[in-house]
Amino acid sequence: MEPIPYAKQFVDEDDIEAVVKVLRSSHLTQGSKVTEFEALFSSYVDASYGLAVSSGTAGLHLAVKALGLKPGEKVLTTSNTFVATANSVLYEKGQIDFVDIDPKTYLMDLGKLEEKLARSKPGEFKGVIVVDFGGCPIDLERLAKITHKFGLWIIEDACHALGARFQDSKGVWQKTGNCKFADVSVFSFHPVKHITSGEGGLITTNRKELFDKMALLRSHGITKDSALFTQESHGGWYYEMQDLGYNYRLSDINCALACSQLKKIDTFLARRKEIAKFYNTELKGLKNFFLAETNPRFENSYHLYVCRATNRKALYDYLRERNIFSQVLYIPVHQQPYYRKIHNWNDVLPETNKYYESALALPMYATLKDEEMQLIVDSIKSFYRS
């Protein structure tokens, strides 16, 4: 059997054709595919505005900058995430602080967040970045209630959670990225994610002024809109740089692939759910091996399937010898050498540390075959028997 990775993209002939069409056209970048993808995606997640960007990382950075973080200002986040989440604050010379995770969901513990804010000085924190880790949506309604009285903005790092949703207190399903409770949500289309554009990301928001600001910053802080000019135009070629921005644009080549991939999202999600159900059933009750708790109010879109094993390293090696490449996600951000130099958070994040000691992500992707799933569960069972 071929090696089984923990994640993999699915690209079909329709995707290839869509990309080739752009390659044969007059616009490889800044053409119609970008706006088409933005409209399709924001409508899929029920948000008013969508802004395609070169990566999820670029999206997080633009969000933090557009929300106006100033040097030295503090933002709260989780350490159980990819480094990009916290780095977005450091890019703006802000200060990061971490809240521990809930051991049942692996998401930021909102009870601990509430306690931390209750102890904080007025105005001490400016915002919070939460992560829908693995595809499990966080309770944004509860988060918004907690942070509202402290005046914090909310960024939802939804890089793992396209297609997830949760039921709010009125019983209404809220799609990840609809920004009903968050100021901004950010998605990634790296090939391990639900859909891919090669590299790429997208920001959603319902706040027009934030969207405009992020759109300006995405392209060097330059506007070509004469209605916005602050100086007199010199002629048809005239443009103005009004802020210090970046080149965080996504090309039409990437967006053509993303549009084509988005058409298949419901099939991708259904298969991921099927795989999770199979793992949940087959791996339940194994000694020294624990599955994540599920909650019918929080519909996971399963970017990852994370379990916990007391002898994780041995299991990881055992599976690897059998060509099954599970993965450990994540090494906590606060344990990275760069972050250790900033501050020692070790004693205040016990659940994040415990999680890291035992977490293992099993292969999860839409094209994982039935016989591969069977081999994975058989191998895990035989590991615990041997």
Ligand X SMILES: Cc1ncc(COP(=O)(O)O)c(C=O)c1O
Q: By the criterion CB under 6 A, which residues form the site for ligand X?
A: 55-57, 81-82, 84-85, 131, 157, 159-160, 188, 190, 201
Sheet of 298-299: strand order equals: 173-175, 165-167, 298-299
Nearest to 379 by CA among 329, 328, 316, 291: 316
Nearest-approach distance from CB 42 to ligand X, in angstroms: 18
> CB–CB of 290/306 below 8 Å?
no
CB of 334 to ligand X, least distance (A): 15
Cα(53)–Cα(187) distance, integer angstroms = 10
Q: Are 237 and 175 in contact (CB under 8 A)?
A: no
- Closest separation between CB of residue 132 and ligand X, Å? 8
Classify strands 289-291 and 222-223 as parallel, antiparallel or unpaired.
unpaired
Of 52 and 283, the one with the shorter C-beta distance to ligand X is 52
Q: Which residues contact 353 (CB under 8 A, 6 or more apart)?
A: 332, 335, 346
- In whole angstroms, how close is the CB of 158 to ligand X at the nearest point? 8
How many CB atoms lie under 10 A from the CB of residue 138? 27
Kindly state the DSSP code that residue 327 receives in the 8-state scheme: B
Give the SS3 label for residue 186. Answer: strand
With respect to ligand X, which residue has the nearer C-beta, 52 or 380? 52
Judge contact between 376 and 315, C-beta under 8 A.
no
Identity of the residue, 82 or 365, whose beta carbon is nearer to ligand X in the bound complex: 82
Supply 70's token pair. 């100033």
Query: Least distance (Å) from ligand X to the CB of residue 187?
Result: 8
Closest to ligand X by CB, 57 or 379 = 57
β partners of residue 203: 51, 186
Nearer to ligand X by Cβ, of 201 and 245: the residue is 201
Q: Tell me the closest approach of the beta carbon of residue 110 to ligand X, in angstroms.
A: 18
User: How open is the CA angle 247-248-253, to the nearest 5 degrees?
Assistant: 105
Which CB sits closer to ligand X, 162 or 380? 162
Alpha-carbon distance of 128 to 110, in angstroms, equals 11
165-167 and 173-175 strand pairing: antiparallel
**Residue 302: which region, alpha, beta or left (left: phi > 0; alpha: psi -120 to 50)?**
left
Question: What's the gap between Cα 360 and its chain centre?
Answer: 18
- Residue 1 Cβ, how far from ligand X at the closest point, in Å? 27
Work out how close the CB of 343 gets to ligand X at its nearest, in angstroms, rounded to a whole number. 21
Q: Choose between 131 and 361: whose C-beta lies nearer to ligand X.
A: 131
Q: Which is nearer to ligand X, 57 or 79 (CB)?
A: 57
Q: Name the minimum Å distance from CB 292 to ligand X.
A: 16
Residue 9 or 57: the one with the smaller Cβ distance to ligand X is: 57
- Nearest residue to ligand X, by Cβ distance, number only: 56
Residue 54 vs 379, nearer CB to ligand X:
54
CB of residue 281 vs ligand X: minimum separation in angstroms?
A: 27
Preceding peptide of 106 cis, ω within 30°: no
Distance CA 99, CA 116 (A): 8
